[in-house]
Copies of this chain bind each other. A is one copy, B any other.
Amino acid sequence: MADIADVARLAGVSTATVSRALNGKTASAATREKVLAAAAELGYVISSNASGLASGRTRHIGFMVPFIDRWFFTDLLTGIESVLLSQGYDVTLYDLQGNDSQRDQVFGSSLRRASIDGLIAASIELTGDEIRALRALGKPVVSIGGYIEGATAVDVDNARMATLATEHLLSLGHTRIAYVGAGRTIASAFQLGDARYDGWLSAMRAAGLDGEESGFWEADFDIPSGYAAAKALLAHDRPTAIFAASDEIGIGCILAARDLGLRVPDDLSVVGIDDHKLSAFFGLTTLAQDPAGQGRLAAHLLLAQLDNPGAAPEHRTLTPRFVVRSSTARPGGAVHGTA
């Protein structure tokens, strides 16, 4: 494979000039053109190892997730890839799923081989050692949906989303609104169970209602779990509305209601959070999170920090978009309503 010396020879310049021309540094237009032509003719591509060794930059970005087989994370990844690939960066995935040795491997070795220029970490809860390891890297980090000291952060206001969702239900006239999701006592890999629970509770209390009594039902963030919780809940003490901590939970609730012969939204309103791929199909009213957009933003912020290493970390909180569909209505099913 052709190397930089071949290109230099063909273009009639030095290797230093080739390097500059290819990296957009100072070089006359004429020289740049010659170099580019020579490189194209030879099918030359920079060796990332050599370039990385000499410059300290690798054009690789790490993306760290607790697990990748979830809608939210794959959508983040799609967004991240779309901006990073187009900027000539590769993304290396660090999937912490699986045993702890996999996790230790990532922190102890993979991350430190200096093979990345920066890191995007999503919904990761770090140990003290891990935070130290990350800081020792001296590379920019942006965190999505979770706080990492010193890192730029992008997130959504989960408590606010939960409050909005609950208020939507309240404004329709519901007073018996159950919450299905992870509670404050549930350690969640998503780091958001608490906030959504709190948002629901505070909206209930602000309306003079006792949330805790109306019912908190625990569920994991998936359809079967939402289904099981709703089955139990609806058999128990039927509320007129459910606020689901995620759309997958919400879809499970809708399915459970159907199986019990209840009509949604006439007999039961359901609102979720996410705007999952399937939510439109199920007519689920929800607060859209747009993870692909979060991923794109995170990637841009990381790129900005790479260009400007001195800059202070930012904190961007995204505003969710309310998507009213057919799963919410006034109690009794009178009229479709909006917040």
Contact = CB atoms under 8 A, between A and B. Distances in A.
Interface of A: 1, 43, 45-50, 52-53, 58-60, 67-71, 74-75, 77-78, 81-82, 85-86, 88, 90-95, 97-98, 101-102, 105-106, 108-110, 112-115, 136, 223-224, 227, 258, 277-278, 280-281
B58 A68 contact: no
16 contacts: A1-B112, A47-B114, A49-B52, A59-B113, A68-B78, A69-B75, A69-B77, A69-B277, A81-B97, A85-B102, A88-B109, A90-B92, A91-B92, A92-B93, A223-B281, A224-B281
Nearest to A227: B281
Nearest to A251: B278
Nearest to A89: B110
Contacts of A68: 74, 77-78, 81
Contacts of A82: 95, 97-98, 102
Contacts of A60: 92, 115
A121 to B, nearest CB: 16
Contacts of A75: 69
A97 B78 contact: yes
Contacts of A112: 1, 45
B86 A105 contact: yes
Nearest to A82: B98
